[in-house]
Chain A
Amino acid sequence: MHHMAKFLATCVVMQMACFQYAWADVALTIAYLRVEQPRPPTLSNLDAVPDDIGLAGARTGLDDNITTGRFLGHGYTLTEATVAPSEDPLAGASRLLAQTPFLIVDAAADVMLAIADLPQAQGAVVFNVAAGDTALRDGDCRANLLHALPSDAMRTDALAQVLVQKRWTDLVMVTGTHPQDLAYAAAMRRSLTKFGLTLSAEKPWVFDADMRRNASQEVPLFTQGFGDYDALIVADELGDFGRYLLYNTWAARPVVGSEGLAALTWSPVIEQWGAAQLQGRFTDRHGRAMQSRDYAAWAAVRTLGEAVTRTNAVDAPSLRGYILSEAFELAGFKGRPLTYRAWNGQLRQPISLAHPRALVAQAPLEGFLHQTNELDTLGLDRPESRCKDFE
């Protein structure tokens, strides 16, 4: 509403031919559901988790859609809802689906699936912007569920490509105990096998001490038993202990994975491919840096915007059909057009390998070839995915 008012005011001031931009001949409502997940405590309190993570990306995507739509008579609105851990996420999803079939969901994988299986969600277009679980792109896929967030497998494949390129072929891994850590470690093992790398040892992180005080004593001992290796992988997706491994390992070896050199959907250090503009636009509006979940939500909203722009349609079957077609492409500030995998609804995208200060590489790396699209060297390729719902 605010934008419409601003737009009309602009018309008057500029004496523009406003009839050309007749508001919302075509109008799309996008719903955004955030299902709050309890966060386990972490050793360090340094990382503030923004309240609007994900949602902020959707809002920036909406701004982009509105700016584009005003030249075409296309209007967009975003309906936002948050469900507390004590509340029923399915009731919240049902309420939103009664308003629109276009629903973006920030929730854990089990909730994501339950929402996709709601009777009201049949024929809807649901976007996953929070669950990296590879199973959702595999046997647990749903025809009405598209994934703007990369799968864990896409990220671990990206990291494996860097390990191959650097000839860091002998790896060890330290794994946290949270489900997200275990899922990441499982994806990592799969990627190491896929790219012919060796995991010579693995240790779970079971310490409950406060590593801010004694990491320098504990970690060398903890990693001494690994002997020699090329790089240490850490599976610590919640940012609990991984940061204390860097520069504290017994052997002087790089740390990669959830800390150190990480494979990321998005990072504030990405500035190539026009990304500086998106970063600037996001930071100006939200007062913080753009994170991976923000990017996924931005991409979901822009996916719908791009489909409406090109088709003039707002019904779910038309937009879904266009999004999954070869005609669709999204300019996502990653240097290549982003498209959706027709076999499991995953948004194809390059993955950044970065540390907190700079981008190191972008996968797919040169030399990792594919018969149709190099981006499909990341994550579940058509023959690998057991997803049948998209056939």
Chain B
Amino acid sequence: MRLNAILALVMLAPAAQAGEIWVTNEKDDTLSVIDTDTLEVVRTYPTGERPRGITFSHDYSRVYICASDSDAVQVMDPATGEILYNLPSGEDPEQFVLHPDDRHLYIANEDDAITTVVDVETRKVVAQIDVGVEPEGMAVSADGKIVITTSETTNMAHWIDTATNALFANTLVDSRPRHAEFTKADKELWVSSEIGGTVTVFDTATQAEIAKIVFEVKGVHPDRVQPVGFEFTPDGRTVFVALGPSNHVAVVNADTYQVEEYILVGRRVWHMAFNGDHSRLFTTNGVSGDVTVIDVAKRRAIKSIKVGRFPWGAAYRP
């Protein structure tokens, strides 16, 4: 009884990691802001057309939004939801990554087969790099030396040397690569291939393939198991992989490259973000228009939160 009372108190107390998950709604031209404690949408802000990629500046004073059909990266004040100004972005920006210097955005221009580098302080384009057809996935190494662009129709990861903004390697992956992340202190690069149905792991130093992860969801044809967004736990040991129209998220052991579990979520699961203490994972489900909250320790879905039409990107703000 006494123990229960303490537990109740603990649960009622404001969590130390109170924060928000910001979700872009691709077909509503809005952002939904979810409170990570109450698990409710607390605010909705209008954006430019077809918002997709979303990321915060390191001090969370700015949020950058790829407004794809407005051909702009919008800069919003997260305190007010006001769009402050647009950055030049090249045409049809889909996804981007903020360099560890907090100053350079590397932007995939899906229609133009280009990666654009923008200085967020001078608001000028620093470089444009020719990449493959339909660039999408963007990653930057923790040391800031390498940026990756994946191209969906060319089926490659393009390795960009950030010192010269030139390509130094191009590595083939399976069909329609969507997302990339460096991990294990930059020793590995992971790339998901939506149509190929795989995640390829590269050795960063040699750009050689060291593993390929295949997914099998019971009762779902392999063609519909389509890995897209993924996120590592802070210890780098576990990775959660969104499997698109299979409506599942895979839990992968990052050391053994083995899938440990599949979690049923909403329809066409796309990208995801953790809350502040990484106890919960929020996945965007495009077709069902909601966000699934996963209990990371228990590895199961605990709630669906209705957001706008076709939620795409997700980012955490304390």
Closest to B152 in A: A274
User: Is A211 an interface position by the 8 A CB rule?
Assistant: no
Evaluate contact between A17 and B167: CB separation under 8 angstroms.
Answer: yes
User: Is B195 an interface position by the 8 A CB rule?
Assistant: yes
Bound complex: CA A64 to CA B168 (Å): 21
User: Is B132 an interface position by the 8 A CB rule?
Assistant: yes
Stretch at the interface among B10-18, B153-161, B235-243, B294-302: B153-161
Evaluate contact between B158 and A71: CB separation under 8 angstroms.
Answer: yes
Closest to B127 in A: A14
User: Is B41 an interface position by the 8 A CB rule?
Assistant: no
User: Is A185 an interface position by the 8 A CB rule?
Assistant: no
- Chain B residues contacting A335 (CB-CB under 8 Å) are 245
Evaluate contact between B224 and A336: CB separation under 8 angstroms.
Answer: yes
Bound complex: CA A209 to CA B244 (Å): 52
> Given that A68-B155, A336-B223, A336-B224 are known contacts, is A10 also in contact with B130, CB under 8 Å in the complex?
yes
Bound complex: CA A15 to CA B158 (Å): 17
Evaluate contact between A331 and B167: CB separation under 8 angstroms.
Answer: no
User: Is B221 an interface position by the 8 A CB rule?
Assistant: yes
Evaluate contact between A64 and B133: CB separation under 8 angstroms.
Answer: yes
Question: Among the listed A68, A284, A374, which residue makes an inter-chain contact with B133, where contact means beta carbons less than 8 Å apart?
Answer: A68
Interface residues of A in 266-315 (CB under 8 A from B): 274, 277, 280-281, 284, 306, 309-310
Shortest CB-to-CB span from A336 to chain B, Å, is 4
User: Is B207 an interface position by the 8 A CB rule?
Assistant: no
User: Is B78 an interface position by the 8 A CB rule?
Assistant: no
User: Is A330 an interface position by the 8 A CB rule?
Assistant: yes
Closest to A339 in B: B223
Evaluate contact between A309 and B172: CB separation under 8 angstroms.
Answer: yes
User: Is B290 an interface position by the 8 A CB rule?
Assistant: no
Shortest CB-to-CB span from B165 to chain A, Å, is 8
Evaluate contact between A68 and B129: CB separation under 8 angstroms.
Answer: no
Bound complex: CA A280 to CA B275 (Å): 37
- Chain B residues contacting A67 (CB-CB under 8 Å) are 113, 132-133, 154
Interface residues of A in 354-391 (CB under 8 A from B): 373-375
- Chain B residues contacting A373 (CB-CB under 8 Å) are 221, 223
Evaluate contact between A330 and B111: CB separation under 8 angstroms.
Answer: no
User: Is B166 an interface position by the 8 A CB rule?
Assistant: yes
Evaluate contact between B156 and A68: CB separation under 8 angstroms.
Answer: yes
Question: Among the listed A16, A68, A277, which residue makes an inter-chain contact with B110, where contact means beta carbons less than 8 Å apart?
Answer: A277
Closest to A336 in B: B223
Shortest CB-to-CB span from B179 to chain A, Å, is 14
Bound complex: CA A306 to CA B156 (Å): 12
Evaluate contact between A337 and B170: CB separation under 8 angstroms.
Answer: no
Evaluate contact between B196 and A277: CB separation under 8 angstroms.
Answer: no
Shortest CB-to-CB span from A330 to chain B, Å, is 7
Question: Among the listed B153, B167, B176, B197, which residue makes an inter-chain contact with A68, where contact means beta carbons less than 8 Å apart?
Answer: B153
Evaluate contact between B134 and A20: CB separation under 8 angstroms.
Answer: no
User: Is A108 an interface position by the 8 A CB rule?
Assistant: no
Interface residues of A in 319-338 (CB under 8 A from B): 329-331, 335-337
Shortest CB-to-CB span from B204 to chain A, Å, is 18
Bound complex: CA A330 to CA B176 (Å): 9
Interface residues of B in 139-159 (CB under 8 A from A): 151-156, 158
Question: Among the listed A281, A329, A374, A375, which residue makes an inter-chain contact with B175, where contact means beta carbons less than 8 Å apart?
Answer: A329
Evaluate contact between B170 and A331: CB separation under 8 angstroms.
Answer: no
Bound complex: CA A306 to CA B176 (Å): 12
Interface residues on B, range: 20 to 34
Evaluate contact between A331 and B154: CB separation under 8 angstroms.
Answer: no
Question: Among the listed B132, B152, B158, B245, which residue makes an inter-chain contact with A331, where contact means beta carbons less than 8 Å apart?
Answer: B152
Question: Among the listed B92, B170, B176, B196, which residue makes an inter-chain contact with A274, where contact means beta carbons less than 8 Å apart?
Answer: B176
- Chain A residues contacting B132 (CB-CB under 8 Å) are 67-68, 71
Evaluate contact between A72 and B111: CB separation under 8 angstroms.
Answer: no
- Chain A residues contacting B154 (CB-CB under 8 Å) are 64, 67-68, 71
- Tell me which of B128, B132, B151, B195 has the highest count of chain A C-beta atoms within 10 A of its own C-beta: B195
Interface residues of A in 197-215 (CB under 8 A from B): none
> Given that A16-B130, A309-B172, A310-B172 are known contacts, is A329 also in contact with B196, CB under 8 Å in the complex?
yes
Interface residues of A in 154-209 (CB under 8 A from B): none
Question: Among the listed B167, B195, B245, which residue makes an inter-chain contact with A16, where contact means beta carbons less than 8 Å apart?
Answer: B167
Bound complex: CA A336 to CA B195 (Å): 6
- Chain A residues contacting B176 (CB-CB under 8 Å) are 274, 331
Evaluate contact between A14 and B195: CB separation under 8 angstroms.
Answer: no
Shortest CB-to-CB span from B262 to chain A, Å, is 19
Evaluate contact between B221 and A374: CB separation under 8 angstroms.
Answer: yes
Shortest CB-to-CB span from A266 to chain B, Å, is 16
Evaluate contact between A280 and B111: CB separation under 8 angstroms.
Answer: yes
Shortest CB-to-CB span from B27 to chain A, Å, is 10
- Tell me which of A280, A306, A329 has the highest count of chain B C-beta atoms within 10 A of its own C-beta: A329
Bound complex: CA A92 to CA B51 (Å): 50
Closest to B226 in A: A335
Evaluate contact between B166 and A16: CB separation under 8 angstroms.
Answer: yes
- Chain A residues contacting B167 (CB-CB under 8 Å) are 16-17, 20, 71
16 contacts between A and B (CB under 8 A): A15-B166, A16-B130, A16-B167, A17-B167, A72-B170, A306-B155, A309-B155, A309-B172, A329-B174, A331-B175, A331-B176, A331-B194, A336-B195, A337-B195, A374-B223, A375-B223
Pairs A-B, 6 closest by C-beta atoms: A68-B154, A331-B175, A71-B170, A336-B223, A331-B195, A331-B176
- Could you list 5 further interchain pairs (A-B, Cβ under 8 angstroms) beyond the known A331-B152, A331-B176? A277-B134, A277-B152, A329-B175, A331-B155, A337-B195
